[in-house]
Amino acid sequence: RWGRRQRALLLGVLMVAWEAAWGQLRYSVPEEMPKGSFVGDVAKDLGLQLLELRDRGVRILNKGRTQYFALHGKTGHLVTAERIDREQLCRLVEKCVLRCELIVEGEMQVYGIEVEITDINDNAPSFRQAEKDLRLSETTAPGSRLDFEEGDSYELEVQAQDGGGLFDTAKVAIAVTDINDNVPVISVRSALSEISEDAPSGTVVALLHVQDRDSGMNGEVLCSLDGDVPFRLQSSHGSYYSVVTARELDREQVSEYNVTVRAADGGSPSLQSSAVLALRVLDVNDNAPVFAEERYSARLAENNAAGALVLTVRATDADWGQNARVRYRLSEGRVRGAPLSSYVSVQAETGALYALRSLDYEEVRELELWVRAEDGGAPALSSNVSVRLLIVDENDNAPQVLYPPPAAAAGSGAAWSGVELAPRGSQPGALPAGRLTRWLVLAVAAVSCLFLAFLLLLLALRLRRWRRQHLLPPDSGALRGVPVSHFVGIDGVRAFLQSYSHEVSLTADSRKSQLRFSGGSCCDTLPARPPPDEPAPLLGDEDPA
């Protein structure tokens, strides 16, 4: 028996925990309980602490005009706010249930609460009226209006009696048919007025409640948002809806939104109502300053006055407020060993670039520098731009005579020759000094290359001539070691007049070739020509045997 009780208690606890997890709490309380009577421990069932109840803004919203329940702020208990009469609320209903909502504004959550009112024996049987006569004037206009929202059904008992005392009765049941005569009502329970543009998708901005007093299809409400806005509707609980962000916001494109929520019922014709949510988007520093040009350049004549304005750079930031405030400064650098900041400076607020000293073209011909624009956000964003400053030459240097020196020319007693020197820049068509020097260097290099090529060609010709002289002497067309008389030429082709055969004997320690002619192997190739008187050796003299 004790085990059954434990199982029943465990089953009840699990049912309460299941219903609390799905956002639905159920309690029961007898009727005619005094005001402030305990109904249920809401804080315990929802797992909320007492401090969280006060911090999150938890409150009870009853359906209808009468507030039957309230939330005790110190204990977190659901208590009765009025004395409840079951016979008055649920006259013909077997199970009397009152419903209310628990709204947690800090989390924008809604929990449904159902409280069953149990009956007690507090009424004795009695008749209100023993006999009641209803009299209607015959001039009563037919078709008087019945309100479905006040009563949806009526029962009438009609008795017909003749003069003889016989009668008959009939029961007439009248059901009132609902028509679509109530528009949906949108109530804003909680809403934000500002939202950051970096808020993640799915952030809740408003909690709405939609209600239609009609029934059936006439009471079914469909909610939607007007226009292409980065928000969407999400059903929270029952007739509650949440307005959440559908994507990331961008304040630089749209800074304020007027979100129109429209509710339409399912009647024919459909009735509609709307509510407008005003929402302002807060800026975050997500845009770096952007310069008006990709790079800047300016020309400044030399011998300028200190503090002369060179040019003005300008950058804009798409953000708002402090995030859009732009300040300028120079990047670090050096010119001829001196810091760049000693030559030029930039005004932090306006971006004006000034020359701090008088510049000399003969010393500095151009300046390459970088200007940084930085906004006032946290963290700050910045961008850089290149600035090129060209120094323009002026005729501020007199010509100088390098030779002869002025002292030597004066001592020689020579008369003035009448040569007048003029600056090169004053001659028509004169090239700048830099370009002229470059062309002179190119000309010298070209002449040097041509001279080197000529020397290589001359050396190649001499080498070729030397090789021809050593391989075939020019004074004789015969082979070396063979007499000229042993050759004959036919059409420019030389041929031997005699054939020779030689035997060569070599020893390991011999330094010379031992040649021996064989007399029997020598014959004329041209018999008509007489043999020579003194044939010369072919390769050299033979050593004596």
In DSSP terms, which residues pair with 173 in a beta bridge?
Answer: 155
User: In terms of pLDDT, which residue wins out, 47 or 324?
Assistant: 324
Residue 328, sorted as left (phi over 0), alpha (psi -120 to 50) or beta, turns out to be: beta
pLDDT tens, 197-210?
999 999 999 999 99
List C-alpha distances in Å: 243 to 9, 65, 223, 235: 41, 27, 11, 9
* Alpha-carbon torsion, ordered 184, 190, 191, 193, to 10 deg: 130
CATH class of segment(s) 290-392: mainly beta
Question: At residue 378, does pLDDT exceed 70?
Answer: yes
pLDDT tens, 245-283?
999 999 999 999 999 999 999 988 999 999 999 999 999
| Domain range annotation of the chain | 2-118, 185-282, 290-392, 479-545
CATH architecture designation of domain 2-118? Sandwich (2.60)
pLDDT of residue 538: 40
In DSSP terms, which residues pair with 458 in a beta bridge?
Answer: none
State which of 37-51, 67-81, 454-468 shows the largest mean pLDDT: 454-468
User: In terms of pLDDT, which residue wins out, 328 or 538?
Assistant: 328
Angstrom distance (rounded) from CA 24 to CA 112: 5
Angstrom distance (rounded) from CA 316 to CA 50: 52
User: ∠ CA(48), CA(53), CA(57), 5° rounding?
Assistant: 135
CATH class of segment(s) 185-282: mainly beta
pLDDT of residue 123: 66
Question: At residue 500, does pLDDT exceed 80?
Answer: no
The H-assigned helical ranges of 338-475 are 406-411, 433-471
Give the side-chain half-sphere CA count within 13 A for 151.
10
pLDDT of residue 537: 46
Question: At residue 499, does pLDDT exceed 70?
Answer: no
CB 494: neighbour CB atoms within 10 A?
A: 14
Q: 3-state DSSP call for residue 191?
A: strand
Angstrom distance (rounded) from CA 299 to CA 389: 6
Tokens encoding 544: 């004596």
User: Out of 408-412, 452-456, 530-534, which region has the weakest mean confidence (pLDDT)?
Assistant: 530-534
pLDDT of residue 101: 87
Judge contact between 231 and 259, C-beta under 8 A.
yes
Model confidence at 536, pLDDT cuts 50, 70, 90, reads very low
Model confidence at 24, pLDDT cuts 50, 70, 90, reads confident
pLDDT of residue 3: 61
List C-alpha distances in Å: 106 to 59, 75, 173, 189, 299: 11, 19, 50, 12, 63
Kindly tell me the sign of the dihedral angle through the C-alpha atoms of 225, 230, 235, 241: negative
- Nearest to residue 95, comparing CAs of 117, 122, 70? 117
pLDDT of residue 503: 55
Question: At residue 408, does pLDDT exceed 80?
Answer: no
Question: At residue 480, does pLDDT exceed 70?
Answer: no
Percent of the chain at pLDDT > 90 equals: 38
| DSSP structure string for 435-485 | HHHHHHHHHHHHHHHHHHHHHHHHHHHHHHHHHHHHHS-TT--SPTTS-GG
Burial label, 122 (beta-carbon count in 10 A; 0-12, 13-18, 19+): exposed
Q: Beta strand pairing status for 344-346 and 256-265?
A: unpaired
Written in H, E and C, the secondary structure of 120-140 is CCCCCCCCCCCCCCCCCCCCC
Angstrom distance (rounded) from CA 227 to CA 242: 17
Task: Indicate the average pLDDT of the chain.
Answer: 78
Tokens encoding 517: 């002619």
End-to-end CA distance of the chain: 151
Q: Region 385-389: what's the mean pLDDT?
A: 95
Instruction: Say which residues have a Cβ less than 8 Å from residue 169's Cβ, sequence separation at least 6.
Output: 157, 158, 159, 160
Model confidence at 20, pLDDT cuts 50, 70, 90, reads very low
The H-assigned helical ranges of 22-152 are 42-46, 50-56, 86-89
Judge contact between 388 and 366, C-beta under 8 A.
yes
List C-alpha distances in Å: 91 to 56, 130, 175, 506: 38, 20, 18, 152
Same fold, 185-282 and 290-392: yes
Model confidence at 169, pLDDT cuts 50, 70, 90, reads confident
Burial label, 215 (beta-carbon count in 10 A; 0-12, 13-18, 19+): middle
